[in-house]
């Protein structure tokens, strides 16, 4: 099984000027791997990362948006899949790190670890949906996933991470949001 931070390190090599939307555990790992102005981190928005990403994608259709969401977070807002599929933003890539836990809330297990998020996304109208559980295959295919017209979805089957330090004042520093806005609007 893969590790989320290793997946994100591979992903970071392919990120240029895209907005990357993340919350909680995904945000902690992502900013450690790739601190940059175009990281959009949401305060108290578990479950809303995909909705925030959709808003950004619709607001700037000529700019790419990548959402890094946890499985617990997606379960809190499954309806976003249907909305994203219906609106079909071509600039939208949705990656879900599935570790079968609500990691940010004490690592309680999700209700059904057999859930198939990629099939749900496909049935909701995403153009393409993938499942990755092998790091080498993810590394080989990530560029293709990112370059496709969206909406595109991929499940990253990862193991639960080491205990993370949630430095909320740093993650959600208002100056970071200002920097994001300035760069996103340009």
DSSP single-letter state for residue 31: H
Q: Please give the Cα distance from 143 to 130 (Å, whole number).
A: 13
Q: Which two tokens stand for residue 110?
A: 């999700």
**pLDDT for 43:** 66
pLDDT in tens, 19-73: 999 988 899 899 999 999 999 987 677 789 999 999 999 999 999 999 999 999 9
Q: Which two tokens stand for residue 55?
A: 């808003």
**pLDDT for 100:** 78
Q: Please give the Cα distance from 15 to 10 (Å, whole number).
A: 10
168 or 128, greater pLDDT: 128
Q: Please give the Cα distance from 179 to 36 (Å, whole number).
A: 9
Domains and CATH numbers, the chain: 2-185 (3.40.50.970)
pLDDT in tens, 106-144: 667 778 889 999 999 999 999 999 999 999 999 999 999
Sign of CA dihedral 70, 54, 94, 129: positive
Q: Please give the Cα distance from 108 to 72 (Å, whole number).
A: 9
Q: Please give the Cα distance from 45 to 64 (Å, whole number).
A: 21
**Total Cβ atoms within 10 A of residue 14:** 14
β-strand pairing of 65-70 with 92-98: parallel
pTM: 0.94
β-strand pairing of 152-159 with 128-132: parallel
């Amino acid at each position: 099984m893969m590790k989320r931070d290793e997946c994100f390190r591979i992903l970071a090599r392919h990120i240029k000027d895209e907005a990357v939307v993340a919350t909680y555990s995904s945000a902690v790992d992502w900013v450690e791997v790739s601190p940059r102005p175009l990281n959009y981190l949401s305060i108290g928005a578990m479950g809303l990362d995909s909705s925030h990403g959709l808003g950004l994608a619709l607001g700037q259709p000529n700019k790419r948006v990548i959402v890094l969401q946890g499985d617990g977070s997606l379960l809190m807002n499954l309806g976003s899949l249907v909305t994203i599929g219906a609106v079909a933003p071509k600039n939208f890539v949705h990656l879900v790190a599935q570790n079968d836990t609500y990691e940010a809330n004490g690592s309680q297990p999700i209700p059904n670890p057999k859930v198939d998020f990629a099939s749900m996304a496909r049935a909701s109208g995403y153009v393409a949906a993938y499942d990755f559980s092998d790091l080498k295959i993810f590394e080989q295919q990530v560029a293709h996933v990112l370059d496709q017209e969206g909406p595109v979805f991929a499940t990253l089957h990862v193991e639960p991470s080491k205990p993370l330090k949630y430095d909320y004042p740093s993650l959600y520093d208002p100056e970071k949001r200002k920097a994001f806005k300035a760069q996103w609007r340009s």
